Structure 1
Amino acid sequence: MSTDEDRERLAGHLAALPVRELVDVLRRVLPHFEQEAYGMRTALTLANVTWYEDDVDPGLDVELVAWPDRDHYGGELGPDQGLWENGRCPRCDVEVTSNAKRAHCPYCGTACALT
């Protein structure tokens, strides 16, 4: 078991990472918390949430953060540009975002081509 100080130190290290490196670390951790029971599968994922304060169409936009396709990027994490690439998972039909145009859905692992 870790202490509050241990967790705070870890949080400080994670907060210091650029987004693409933080996403890569979480890609290695979050899948360990998947569960299957009663015919359902649940998974922890990272999401990017945007609130639009628009008079015509206000609302919340939630996108799952897709893992960059490291094979496509020669083992690297893709461009260091923030979460600017968007699209849909062709299998889950969920909205995803990534720093890379080629990424994998964090829920099902399907390759996604983002724009």
Structure 2
Amino acid sequence: MTTDEGRARLAEQLVALPVHELVDVLRRVLPHYTEDEPGLRTTLVLATATTDEDTPDVAELALVAWPDRNHHEGGLGADQGLWNEGDCATCAVTLTSNAKRGHCPVCGSGCGLT
């Protein structure tokens, strides 16, 4: 797919997905763009940025954890938006997810979110 029209069609399909399905699609794509160099790893991840109306120039960032499909019997977790939050116990990044149990997109560790 190299045309603007092809990318526009794909974008329309992605926009039509509910958030938990979009996250699942991106879980299958983004890790393929990880780059490893000696002593350095760069991973493409999905994140949320939340701003408060009192401080609109300050954003809180959270990486989107991939739902733990084993915990959810092969499913994607509840379709409830990205309301579950927590920190990765291994690499300490802040996470958000639609699921209570997920995997950190940076280090792959299992995480419990509340």
Scaled by the length of structure 1, the TM-score of the pair is: 0.94
Structure 1, unpaired ranges of 5+: none
Structure-1 residue corresponding to 2:21: 21
Q: Percent identity?
A: 60
SS of the residue aligned with 2:71?
coil
1:1-115 mapped onto 2 (5 Å cutoff): 1-54=1-54, 59-115=58-114
**Does structure 2 conserve the Cα–Cα contact (< 8 Å) formed by 1:53 and 1:59?**
no
Q: Which residues of structure 2 form unaligned runs of 5+? A: none
Runs of 4+ more than 2 Å apart? none
Supply the RMSD in Å over aligned alpha carbons.
1.4
Q: Distance in 1 between matches of 2:94 and 2:12?
A: 29
One-letter amino acid of the counterpart of residue 66, structure 2: W
Q: Displacement, 1:53? A: 2.5
**TM-score of the pair, normalised by structure 2:** 0.95
Q: For residue 6 of structure 1, give the secondary structure of its aligned residue in structure 2.
A: helix
SS at match of 1:106: coil
Tell me, in whole angstroms, the C-alpha distance in 2 between the residues paired with 1:49 and 1:14.
19
Which residue type is aligned with residue 105 of structure 2? P
Matched to 2:18, the amino acid is P
Verify the 8 A CA contact 1:30 1:45 in the aligned structure 2: yes
Partner AA of 2:97 in structure 1: S
- Count of residues in correspondence between the two structures: 114
Letter of the 1:7 partner, please give it. Answer: R
